[in-house]
Amino acid sequence: MNRIALQVTGFDECISARTWIMKRIKSKIAILAIASLAAGPLLADESVRVRNCTWCHGISAQGFSTAPRLAGQRYQYIENQLLSFKEHSRDNPLSKQYMWGATANLSPQTAHDLAAYFSALPPQAANDGDRELVAAGRTIYEEGIAESNIVSCLVCHGPNGEGVREIPRLGGLSYSYLKKRLEQWGEGFHAAAEPMPQIASQLSPNQIEALASYLSFIEYDSLER
Amino acid sequence: MKVVSLRLALQTAVLAIVFSVAGRAEDSRTVTVSKQELQAKLEYCKTCHGLSGQGYRGYFPMPRLAGQQPTYLENQLRAFIERRRKNPVMFNVAHVLSPSMVAALAEHFRELNPNPIGGAPKEPLALGKTIYDEGLPEANIAACSACHGPEAKGKDEIPRLAGQLFPYTEKVLTNWDKERGLGSAKDTSAIMVPTTHNLTHSQIAAIAAYISNLK
């Protein structure tokens, strides 16, 4: 929270902060380039497959437009999702449009390798939510709203949205991706991902916006895997 | 200063009226929880504790509630509210429940009987069974079965252990007096304190593994 509180500054500070952030991003890109090179030999014969993912998810897999960040995601989660696209149980509109085709000929071994590759990349926070909703989102995330039968997200996704095993890391994913996933569970998509349909259908549009905003700002200083 | 004390007095008076009204409302609906309210609350419990109450392994292990003793559930919910049992999430969950809702929830979970979710290590099962059935007299550890019953079904305020999640039991026995029996109020959890102190980590793991497989 300190990190987030520090970022909620006045306009003047924002400008100097932006220069600082740009510097940080540049240095991170350099690190990423090295990291990708280092990861390269692992998947030397699979570079084409990685390229097929990064067309949409971005060269450093930080996500782009509607394609979510894959960098730093839990590998068991990535693997499971790839298989669920292939089996068509993840049936969200854009999954259907892009990921069903992308995974149609995916072998379990390739799914495993891709998951290992992307989970090892360091994630950056999208930072694209509404800062004014961060406090409200954090309260729902940590405590739930018992009166309205809304459960705490923390008990499964971890104190900092870090995820564990097959439970996804949420911290720093983009606001628009998080918002859409939560909305679509309420609309009946990806019904197999119990208990998320039950949870998300209890959330109001305002609560979804608050949660997605809070999560979009979470960063990880050191990556625990 | 005078204004403040007048305001305080007024607020106290308003509160007193509110409480007396609330008190009467509570009396008049002692056993009535609407089916709809109960259903919504059950779904809420089960999103974390498993859709059949079988428990769930999230970032934290969420214990199995299926087949649990109603008196035990009721006691624990009250312990969360009174901060005798430390768990910030369950405090929020428990403090909005009316006594009649607690009773209805407890009754529902008693009737559920899903299979254990499994996932415990196999190696320590034999030691776990020995400790559960016979205890370890040389280490001052009583047989679990003496209180929790030969089939680990529990009774009244003594919890059922059969089918409980391995990582949950492991955590509970390891942290017993850091999480339970807090504050000055009397609490039945005190009974377990000497036993949990005498257990080694591998003995805890053995018991946790053994009971996690019991149906």
Looking at this predicted complex, what is its ipTM? Answer: 0.80
How high does pLDDT run on average in chain A?
Answer: 85
Q: In this complex, do A163 and B59 lie within 8 Å of one another by their Cβ atoms?
A: yes
Which tens digits make up the pLDDT trace of B7-33?
555 555 544 444 444 444 444 445 589
Check CB contact of B119 with chain A, cutoff 8 Å.
no
- Assign a CATH topology to domain A44-122: Cytochrome Bc1 Complex; Chain D, domain 2 (1.10.760)
Q: What is the pLDDT of residue B187?
A: 86
- Name the pLDDT band for A23 (thresholds 50, 70, 90): low
- Name the pLDDT band for B189 (thresholds 50, 70, 90): very high
pLDDT tops 70 at residue A26: no
pLDDT tops 60 at residue A219: yes
Domain B31-111, second-level architecture: Orthogonal Bundle (1.10)
Q: What is the pLDDT of residue B1?
A: 44
Mean per-residue pLDDT for B107-129? 96
How far B38 CA lies from chain A's nearest CA (Å)?
A: 11
Q: In this complex, do A156 and B56 lie within 8 Å of one another by their Cβ atoms?
A: yes
From residue B15, alpha-carbon distances to A78, B10, B12, B193 in Å are 53, 9, 5, 41
B209: closest CA among B140, B149, B141, B161?
B161
Q: What is the pLDDT of residue A149?
A: 95
Which tens digits make up the pLDDT trace of A115-128?
999 999 999 999 99
Mean per-residue pLDDT for B173-185? 92
Mean per-residue pLDDT for B119-132? 97
Q: Choose among A146, A156, A159: nearest Cβ to B96.
A: A146
Domain boundaries B125-212, corresponding CATH code: 1.10.760.10
Q: Where in chain B is the domain with CATH 1.10.760.10?
A: 31-111, 125-212
Q: To which H or E segment does residue B61 belong?
A: strand B61-62
Q: Cα(B213)–Cα(B193) distance, rounded to whole angstroms?
A: 24
Fill in the amino acid letter for B9.
A
pLDDT tops 60 at residue A18: no
Q: Is the separation of the CB atoms in A208 and A170 below 8 Å?
A: no
pLDDT tops 50 at residue A35: no
pLDDT tops 80 at residue B5: no
Q: To which H or E segment does residue B56 belong?
A: strand B56-57
Kindly list the residues from chain B whose CB atom is less than 8 angstroms away from the CB atom of residue A195. Answer: 46-48, 51, 56
Q: Is the separation of the CB atoms in A179 and A127 below 8 Å?
A: no
Q: Where in chain A is the domain with CATH 1.10.760.10?
A: 44-122, 131-216
Domain boundaries A131-216, corresponding CATH code: 1.10.760.10
